[in-house]
């Protein structure tokens, strides 16, 4: 958590609504006249019309908020402070390290209790197997079409807000964890065996 400031994160909905709220106040303040000899009735009518028009700017932002927003989350790496992200909607394309923000490509949710689904692509976190058709330390993490029975798409996420993401091991496979391969934007994501204590590249904050 070193070097992290309290102001690093804001709510996705807050970021979406803040500029519209500012615009509402700006519109209302510009069109409301000061009281004059025509009386307060005209002023009240103008206020009502201004508020109605300005509120119309806010409604689309509220409607655009995903119904499942409360169940989605970001996974921010504790070493680079960058987020797990999708790279493409095509099945089998690699997961990447991306900038954190409000983009849907870095938002995930749980499906079937043990699958992690990218909100933008609808694809599930998966492992690209090597030639031996088993999971090995160093294999790349990809996003593939979700299949409930796909063993490579089953993960155990530790409890709490700071987590590790362990692949659900099958017989003959090592215990491996999702790990960033590099700290730069668009670096790949791999699975690795875990030393003790777990390195920052294998620890994610669930936001």
Q: What is the pLDDT of residues 133-143, one digit of tens each?
A: 889 999 999 99
Q: For the full predicted model, state whether its pTM sits above 0.75.
A: no
**Are residues 166 and 116 in contact, defined by beta-carbon separation less than 8 angstroms?**
no
Take residue 83 and report the two structure tokens written for it: 């987020």
Q: Is the peptide bond before 197 cis (omega within 30 degrees of 0)?
A: yes
User: What contacts 60, CB < 8 A, 6 or more positions away?
Assistant: none
Q: What is the pLDDT of residues 157-182, one digit of tens each?
A: 999 999 999 999 888 899 999 999 99
Identify the pLDDT of residue 91. Answer: 96
Identify the pLDDT of residue 133. Answer: 84
| Cβ neighbour number for residue 3 with a 10 Å cutoff | 6
Take residue 163 and report the two structure tokens written for it: 């987590």
Q: What is the pLDDT of residues 48-69, one digit of tens each?
A: 555 455 445 444 443 444 444 5
CA-based radius of gyration for the chain: 23
Identify the pLDDT of residue 2. Answer: 45
**Every domain of the chain and the residues it spans:** 12-63, 71-206
Identify the pLDDT of residue 92. Answer: 95
**Are residues 191 and 127 in contact, defined by beta-carbon separation less than 8 angstroms?**
yes
* Ranges under pLDDT 50 in the chain: 1-17, 19, 21, 25, 27-28, 31, 51, 54-55, 57-68, 70
**Are residues 194 and 175 in contact, defined by beta-carbon separation less than 8 angstroms?**
yes
Q: What fold characterizes domain 71-206?
A: Trefoil (Acidic Fibroblast Growth Factor, subunit A) (2.80.10)
Please state, in angstroms and rounded to a whole number, the distance separating the CA atoms of residues 45 and 55. 16
Please state, in angstroms and rounded to a whole number, the distance separating the CA atoms of residues 15 and 27. 20
On the CB side of 16, CA atoms within 13 Å amount to 17
User: What contacts 92, CB < 8 A, 6 or more positions away?
Assistant: 126, 128, 142, 143, 144
Identify the pLDDT of residue 47. Answer: 55
């Amino acid at each position: 958590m070193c070097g992290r400031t309290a102001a690093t994160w804001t709510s996705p909905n807050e970021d979406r609504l803040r500029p519209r709220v500012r615009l509402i106040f700006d519109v209302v303040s510009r069109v409301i006249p000061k009281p004059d000899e025509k009386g307060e009735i005209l002023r009240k009518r103008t206020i009502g019309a201004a508020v109605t028009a300005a509120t119309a700017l806010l409604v689309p932002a509220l409607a655009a908020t995903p119904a499942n927003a409360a169940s989605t989350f970001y996974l921010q790496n504790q070493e680079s402070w960058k987020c797990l992200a999708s790279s493409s909607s095509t099945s089998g394309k690699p997961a990447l390290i991306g900038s954190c923000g409000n983009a849907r490509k870095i938002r995930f949710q749980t499906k079937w209790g043990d699958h992690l689904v990218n909100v933008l692509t609808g694809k599930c976190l998966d492992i690209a197997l090597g030639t031996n058709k088993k999971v090995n330390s160093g294999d790349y993490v990809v996003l593939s079409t979700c299949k409930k029975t796909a063993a490579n798409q089953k993960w155990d996420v530790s409890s709490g807000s700071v987590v590790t993401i362990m692949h659900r091991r099958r017989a003959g496979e090592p215990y491996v964890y999702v790990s960033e391969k590099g700290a730069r934007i668009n670096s790949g994501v791999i699975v690795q065996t875990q030393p003790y204590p777990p390195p920052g590249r294998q620890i994610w904050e669930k936001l």
